[in-house]
Chains A and B, each alone.
Chain A
Amino acid sequence: MSVRRLRAQTSSRVIDRVFIAVLLAAAIVFLAIIGGLAYSLVAGSSLSLRTFGAAFLWTSQWNPVTNQFGALPLIYGTIVSSLIAILLSGLFGVFAAVFLADFAPRPIARPLSFMIELLAAVPSVVFGLWGLFVLAPAMRNAIDPFLQKTLGFLPIFSGPSYGVGLLTAGVILALMIIPTVTALSRDVIATIPIDQREASMSLGATRWETMTKVVLPAARAGIFGAIILALGRALGETIATTMVIGNRPEISASLFAPSYTLASVIANEFTEATTDIYRNSLIELGLLLFIVSVMVNGAARLLIWSVFRRSVSAR
């Protein structure tokens, strides 16, 4: 047997060094892209940042003609439509998750979960198309009048309905984010250790009581995180929203009224933005969306992660 030394052959060391370097380079390119994204948004909006300052956020004028840009009506439209979306998707989505996690028999749970997950794969423009031609007329002809008749004394349900408006946008958004809420909540609920359920049942609680009094409270942070993550999606959703929201930069009390979101205005007006200040303002809206989504996502993941960590250590 030949005597081979334990010091490395140069060639294998070199190969591995080059290999690691290539992989590291890829990771650095990846980071650079993310950094470039942030930088380009800041640099591209520098003019409007300097011109309007913080007042950009609470000025309600969005006027390309006079070059006066304020984001307030857009912020309003974004927040309200997203709020509607998370109220609806939270209500339906969490209970759907409850059913799928603990109460559905296997042969039903699998196909239902599958279908809800496929819903997440449907492109935004397809939702928008359906919203425009199916949902909006339904809202205008049936649902909005019904709401007006029963709850019309509330300012949010006053005024005429055109089918396109805040409420319709909220409903479409809800449909788009319900898979996120359901899938994540279901995963969070499934993480709650089974002994907690068993303990509760052995004390005489029904399965439903176990769910509402033991499991859901334990999963509360994670479910909350799932909803916030879905909120992040809703805030940035562009195409479906712009097709059903009416595209009018005005603040109105009624949910039937047309409105405008941060993302929609960028989509509709960016290619028409001829002046620098106009373009900068639009990019500043993009920067706003970026910052908000980073904060919302960060908060959501922290919440979700805390539940997983607690369940793991409880085992």
Chain B
Amino acid sequence: MIEVAAIPQASLKTRDLNAYYGDHRAIADVTLGFQPLSVTALIGPSGCGKTTLLRTLNRIHEIIPNARVTGEVILDGENVYDPAVDPIALRRRIGMVFQRPNPFPTLSIEDNVAAGLNLRLRRTQRQEIVERALRDVGLWDEIKDRLRASPHTLSGGQAQRLCIARALAVEPEVLLMDEPTSALDPISAANVEELVGRLASRYTIVVVTHNMQQAARVSRATAFMLADESGSGRVVEYGETSQIFFHPRERRTEDYISGRFG
């Protein structure tokens, strides 16, 4: 079991985090530390709150009316839920990639990648950043001669890598990924997975996945979540991925891993 306090300079952690949609408590008492510069996987059956937890980290769950949070999410020592914090500034440090690729349909590929960039950059600087981001995700060679094309022309896997490039262009510290490969074909999924592995050396990455094999392949630490009797998601066990998968401490974890439910 990973002790949160023992994680060296944990850049991102939660403390007693609860998230509510109206009266329903979606996640309860979550205290986790995400190891920097590595991939942490969140696994669990549907409804266990893993996506909700992810969305509280960059405060994007707030767009749902009646959503609220108690507890803390701490980034580099600052609680992101402090009233003085600007969520917009927060989201430039914590980026997000969604389950279904969502390139902006009215912008070109190039403009998609540059969408988050400061407007005051010079043209050449912009182009440099776009190229670097597209190279990082392995898309540059494939689309360097159609940067002005519409993102419709991209395949699913390419579109998802475009979204990752878009998130990376802003130079975040943390990257949140909500089932990034579940809408992709197996080859594209493998590409993206491999990309995530490469990115881990530069970013702190949290991946929600329902694919246990993927979690085992890609992550260094894994948190297993389950909804309790009142429907609130809780972290059942959190540890090194190899420990979770081969020597789970909790019975419930073992049941899930071995496929006895969910």
Binding site for B on A (CB under 8 A): 1, 3-9, 12-13, 16
Tell me how many residue pairs across A and B have CB atoms closer than 8 Å.
29
CB distance from A174 to the nearest CB of B (A): 44
Q: How far is the CA of A269 from the CA of B131 in the complex (A)?
A: 72
- From B75, B84, B93, B173, contact of A7 by CB (8 A): B84
CB distance from B51 to the nearest CB of A (A): 24
Inter-subunit contact B88/A12 (CB<8 Å) = yes
Inter-subunit contact B86/A8 (CB<8 Å) = yes
- From A4, A9, A12, contact of B93 by CB (8 A): A4
Q: How far is the CA of A4 from the CA of B92 in the complex (A)?
A: 9
Inter-subunit contact A1/B173 (CB<8 Å) = yes
B6 at the interface (CB under 8 A from A): no
What chain B residues lie within 8 Å of A6 (beta carbons)? 75, 78, 80, 82, 85-86, 89-90, 93
- From A7, A13, A16, contact of B85 by CB (8 A): A7
Secondary structure at the A interface, as helix, strand, loop or mixed, is loop
Residues from 51 to 100 in B contacting A, C-beta threshold 8 Å:
75-76, 78, 80, 82, 84-86, 88-90, 92-93
CB distance from B166 to the nearest CB of A (A): 18
Q: How far is the CA of A267 from the CA of B93 in the complex (A)?
A: 64
Q: How far is the CA of A7 from the CA of B75 in the complex (A)?
A: 13
B171 at the interface (CB under 8 A from A): yes
Q: How far is the CA of A7 from the CA of B80 in the complex (A)?
A: 10
Q: How far is the CA of A16 from the CA of B90 in the complex (A)?
A: 16
What chain A residues lie within 8 Å of B86 (beta carbons)? 6-8, 12-13
CB distance from B202 to the nearest CB of A (A): 9
Inter-subunit contact A5/B89 (CB<8 Å) = yes
Inter-subunit contact A9/B89 (CB<8 Å) = yes
Considering only CB atoms, which chain A residue lies closest to B79 in the complex? A6
Considering only CB atoms, which chain A residue lies closest to B84 in the complex? A7
Q: How far is the CA of A1 from the CA of B170 in the complex (A)?
A: 11
Q: How far is the CA of A4 from the CA of B118 in the complex (A)?
A: 14
Give 28 pairs: A residue, B residue, CB < 8 Å, sorted on A. A1-B171, A1-B173, A3-B76, A4-B89, A4-B92, A4-B93, A5-B89, A6-B75, A6-B78, A6-B80, A6-B82, A6-B85, A6-B86, A6-B89, A6-B90, A6-B93, A7-B84, A7-B85, A7-B86, A7-B89, A8-B86, A8-B88, A8-B89, A12-B86, A12-B88, A12-B89, A13-B86, A16-B88
